[in-house]
Structure 1
């Protein structure tokens, strides 16, 4: 009976070591293979685009509201009306001039809004496939890292 008493602590130590390794391994497998649950939804509103000519450029604006329980990232954009869309940011320089530069992917925290508006972030529609005039509409598709692609019908209008 005495030899078993000496083996019991060794046996229990091995069990804890084995369970600890197994649990660590499982948690890393889970994080790589499952996505965080996203409750709620991302909504697009106040969308509008400027008129533009075929082969030319236009700009589109909208508000993105993250009503999910998770941070999400705006990855890319597309439209049947343009060959290419880029997210740009207007920059005012010290001398009063304004220029645009590409803006990177935008992270939108849970419960926050991202506003694409004149003088700030906006979508540049490049090489329009057709004329877009006041009264027309176009579809904009925005792809997010977590919720996937959301499409909005966007009226073409002059800024109010």
Structure 2
């Protein structure tokens, strides 16, 4: 994992400044449909951090997606691109908003198991997160 070091007089942020809270995922029904993961990502550093990608052994195409609803009430999902996390800021990956879409599952997500999800940042640093798998109908990590 890469890290940034502070230089005299310059603010910096690195993976040690990223705090991930309440990660969770829903059990999948086989592998034909995508999986999903949710969490909060907090930047405790003095500089913005940019989430540029994801990696996991459970899916061939993990991406951050954004759910949007138009004026007619029709919802759609699309890749969100890079996500900037401001200094002292938090980004929530949650149902109906930004979320980690796990496309092309390599194996089913099974309730009571967990998997590793790597968050990749623009500076080359990575943060590993253990994501517990909840029931197929779960609505949050408290369930």
TM-score normalised per structure 1 = 0.73
Note the 1:34-73 alignment, pairs <5 A: 37-38=12-13, 41-52=17-28, 53-73=30-50
Q: Which residue of 2 aligns with 1:109?
A: 86
- Does 2:102 align with 1:125? yes
Q: Which segments of structure 1 move beyond 2 Å, counting only runs of 4 or more? A: 35-40
Select 1:94's aligned residue among 71, 80, 83. 71
Structure whose residues are more often helix by fraction: 1
Structure 1 unmatched ranges of 5 or more: 1-34
Structure whose residues are more often strand by fraction: 2
C-alpha RMSD of matched pairs (Å): 1.8
Q: Which moved more, 1:134-143 or 1:39-48?
A: 39-48
Specify which structure has the bigger relative contact order, considering alpha-carbon pairs within 8 angstroms and separated by 6 or more residues: 2
Structure 2 unmatched ranges of 5 or more: 1-9
TM-score normalised per structure 2 = 0.81
Change (3 A) 1:125 1:102: same
Please tell me whether the aligned partners of residues 11 and 46 of structure 2 are also in contact (alpha carbons under 8 angstroms). no
Aligned residues: 126
- Quote the offset at 1:55 in angstroms: 4.1
